[in-house]
Amino acid sequence: MPLEAGKGIAEVVDISATIVHAYGKTTVTISHAGYGTCVEPTGISWEQAFDKLTAVLAKG
């Protein structure tokens, strides 16, 4: 059951990830659409997720 529109959370959220490895480097592109009124908390969550990913990748 979708959340009621206008209640702070987007009814539809579209997230896609593209990972490209070329010339010894890997590029990750994340697209996130459908924030509702939660733009700032969502941005903070993504930053935390990438900080954790960076730490894991640094350990090898």
Size of the chain in residues: 60
Query: How is the chain split among helix, strand and coil, in percent rounded to 5?
Result: 35, 30, 35
CA distances from 19 to 10, 31, 36, 43 (A): 26, 12, 26, 20
pTM of the model: 0.53
pLDDT tens-place string over residues 4-57 = 555 556 667 788 999 999 999 999 898 888 766 666 777 788 889 889 989 998
